Structure 1
């Protein structure tokens, strides 16, 4: 017989753990299903300096561990495993864990996040957090007065390159094609910035490091086959994200890129009783603090859904 729960949170990270804290404090006894990387992408981040409340910063793993312990303190329970199937046709929802175990839930919060796309070249993942980054907004501050590269040719790459010029002395954009995919307005803005250099029609083949920090990038010219070394202190990937929603296909409304669609201003999905928070539904911000905020929203939405309320009474919130 399947184990029954009021609410199951699928995924951790700042969104899922914040939802767990709020729901546990409300005596909802949430069960959190954490995958093979509990805590999400922040567990791979060495230093977090922009999460409010930590004057001297905090490491990503420490921040996630603190949030997990806080949720456990109020009664949240955790289970390691993958959700391989969800039956959303009726309530309670039926979830399959690791392809065999069946559990039931009156409500579900999806907080499985979105994973940054990688080039999968030598030295890339090995130097993540040591000069390799997937978030200029998060890590740009560390490169004041230094040289960095940005890989990508779309709007996000142009935006990240322009942002990094606030700190770095030189930003080189590496793109595998001779033409950029970014909108003309974003291209023009980047091309007018004299701090931005261009390495177009070139493929990154390796990220180099010296004394445990990124020191250079090897690229190959697609036309000539000539190899080149670009010296750099930072390597920023801006080739997009993939939302972790494969198990939700045909179960809930997703947008064309696979992100969970939510009702504006809420965390409600197309399935009553199913909610989504964090990067899995955020195509714009992708910050720890915004993810945590939507985790709070999801917890509030779940509480009021279970109480049968159609409108939120914020005076009776979980605070």
Structure 2
């Protein structure tokens, strides 16, 4: 028997496990995950951020971030993300491109398996997987996202001051955001696939009384067109099947389409493991703790009343500091 080979194999395996053992592993590289990375690494925790696509989450498609406190003039989603990534690097947080496909969160050491086949081990895990707006799915939507198509009135309303905008959706969020947009746009048209709305009657009544709001019912968006910027929208009547193309005012040259047909929490991986509400948002306390000790959630994937960059970064900071306390309490030598 080759005892040297067995010994080498044993210690190599042990070395690999130690190399992939982190104090904190953060799933998601949006504002919540990056903020958690900054706070975790700054506290001298061995910190890893795993992001399966691009860092920054939803803000990478935002042309200008004007409502983030202290942001510099003309700050964009990509530039703000780049600065957060730089801060993570400066404090020593590691960022890897990998998606998590399997988790084992019970026990002292959490085990995460990546799409790459790599197994990550952590004393604490922060789920910052985010949420994504439900898309219309029509031609032109992706092309004009950030160039006329938006999923956040709070973020982008001021870009459409004195312009005409369409709001797609029929729930509470759609009508509430439509009313918010009337503070900026000269005209807001709510586009809904049915006659009836899913929102509270009180909200519908308020919207109908607003002189700036009009309604285009039994209608869906069939296509979004333009040359560099959004210039026209093709609508389809859901009853007659007829289509018509609506063009932006010549003097304006463009208009806005705001889509509020739901948001999808990126939490499928945690079903049956972490507690969720009926919309699959993760449930936490004020310390970002989930139902499993050592597992925290932050950002848009958790249940909360406002989903903005500022609330995501706050969640991430809280989650990281609480993860640090958890590790100190449970892994003290």
Q: TM-score, normalised by structure 2?
A: 0.90
1:35 to 2:52 alignment? yes
Correspondence 1:78-157 to 2 at 5 A: 78-98=95-115, 100-157=117-174
Q: Contact (CA 8 Å) 1:34, 1:81: kept in 2 or not?
A: yes
The residue matched to 1:140 in structure 2 has which SS? helix
Q: Which residue of 2 aligns with 1:229?
A: 245
Select the structure of larger CA radius of gyration.
2
Secondary structure of 1:297's match? helix
Aligned 8 A contact 2:189 2:216 in 1? yes
Q: Could you say which residue in structure 1 is the equivalent of 2:284?
A: 262
Aligned residues: 307
Q: Distance in 1 between matches of 2:247 and 2:125?
A: 47
Question: CA contact under 8 A between 1:12 and 1:34: conserved in structure 2?
Answer: yes
Query: What pairs up with 1:10-49 in 2 under 5 angstroms?
Result: 10-49=27-66
Shift of 1:99: 6.0
Maintained 8 Å contact 1:278/1:295 = yes
1:253 paired residue number? 275
Deviations 1:52-83 (A, max 9, x none): 21241311111101101111111100110110
The 4+ residue runs of structure 1 with deviation greater than 3 A are: none
- Distance in 1 (CA, whole Å) between partners of 2:312 and 2:303 is 8
Q: Pick from 284, 296, 303 the counterpart of residue 275 of structure 1.
A: 296
Q: Contact 2:299/2:313 (CA < 8 Å) preserved in 1?
A: yes
Of 41-50 and 102-111, more deviation after overlay is shown by 41-50
Aligned mates of 1:279, 1:47 — CA distance in 2: 19
Query: In the alignment, is residue 303 of structure 1 matched against residue 324 of structure 2?
Result: yes
- More deviation, 247-256/48-57: 48-57
Q: Residue 220 of structure 1 is aligned with which of 236, 245, 248?
A: 236
Q: Distance in 1 between matches of 2:290 and 2:178?
A: 34
Partner of 2:308: 287
State the match for 1:238 in structure 2: 260
1:144-186 Cα deviation digits (max 9, x unpaired)? 1010000000000001100000000000000111111111011
Moved more, 38-47 or 120-129: 38-47
CA distance in 2, matches of 1:164, 1:72: 38
Structure 2 CA distance for aligned equivalents of residues 235 and 202 of structure 1: 14
User: How far does residue 304 in structure 1 lie from its aligned partner after superposition?
Assistant: 1.3
Mapped contact 2:98–2:116 kept (Cα < 8 A): no
Distance 1:139 1:145 in 2: 13
- Distance, in Å, in 1 between the alignment partners of 2:97 and 2:206 is 46
Name the SS of the counterpart of 2:215 in structure 1: strand
Superposed CA offset, 1:118-147 (max 9, x none): 011011011000010000011001111010
